[in-house]
Amino acid sequence: MISQTKSRMTRRGLLGAFAATTLVAAPTYSKAAGFLRGAGDIRRVRMYSGRTGEAIDTIYWIEGKYIKDALKEINYFMRDWREDAVISIDTRTVDIVAATHALLDVSEPYMLLSGYRTPKTNAMLRSRSRKVAKHSLHMKGEANDLRLKSRSVSQIYRAGLACGAGGVGKYSRSNFVHMDCGQVRTWGS
């Protein structure tokens, strides 16, 4: 659920509290299938945005099915805040976020630095940094940039690599890790 300062309890939240002891999340495609064995019946994503002041802590998958309303909340949360534009975030990307969070064994939510970007936002960021890809997967809702206070960039990067699904980029100087559901590849220092 997304909140500015107050948290509201929903049916999904109650289900999450009830089922929290079985929580494990993982990517849903081939190389990450090993994470699913004995994984339990729910997947959860926890993030906050320093830009908007919003936070999300929601169960988005129960017993093999994505929860449509939870995915809508995730789509809105990961929107391009500069343009207030929303796109459907690829569920594989959400699965990677949840899986790496579970592997890191932290209760702290990820800080989302960048989720979806409109072409206009991507072009603006590209004009400021040569590290922004012209055809960024952020523009397709297939990528995000994340950080945790309690874990190093290297630790988050290794968790992303362990999923074996998508691209993982390490940005040590800027203190974040890029994760996407594109081709398996790595970069960064």
Task: Specify the pLDDT at position 111.
Answer: 97
- Domain of 19, CATH number, reads 3.30.1380.10
- The dihedrals phi and psi of 172, each to the nearest 5 degrees, come to -60, -45
The pLDDT of residue 125: 87
Assess contact for 92 and 27: CB atoms under 8 A.
yes
pLDDT value for 11: 46
Bridge-based pairing state of the strands 42-48 and 55-62: antiparallel
Interior angle at CA 167, CA 162 and CA 173, nearest 5: 90
Amino acid 40: pLDDT: 63
Counting other chains too, the contacts that 79-87 makes at CB distance below 8 Å and 24 or more residues apart are 79/115, 79/116, 80/115, 80/116, 80/117, 80/118, 80/121, 81/49, 81/51, 81/52, 82/118, 82/121, 82/124, 83/118, 83/120, 83/121, 85/116, 85/118, 86/116, 87/116, 87/140, 87/141
pLDDT value for 81:
95
- pLDDT tens, position by position, for the chain (189 residues)? 554 433 344 444 434 433 332 333 334 444 444 444 445 688 999 999 989 999 999 999 998 899 999 999 999 999 999 999 999 999 999 999 999 999 999 999 999 999 999 999 989 888 888 778 888 999 999 999 999 999 999 999 999 999 888 999 999 999 999 999 999 999 987
Distance CA 56, CA 48 (A): 6
- Is-contact 110 153, C-beta < 8 A? no
The pLDDT value given to residue 44:
94
Q: Calculate the alpha carbon distances from 118 to 10, 56, 126, 136, 139 in Å.
A: 31, 21, 12, 10, 6
Q: How many domains does the chain have?
A: 1
Domain, as residue range, for 40: 2-188
pLDDT at 6: 39
pLDDT tens digits for range 110-159: 999 999 999 999 898 888 887 788 889 999 999 999 999 999 999 999 99
**Residues pairing with 112 in the sheet:** 146
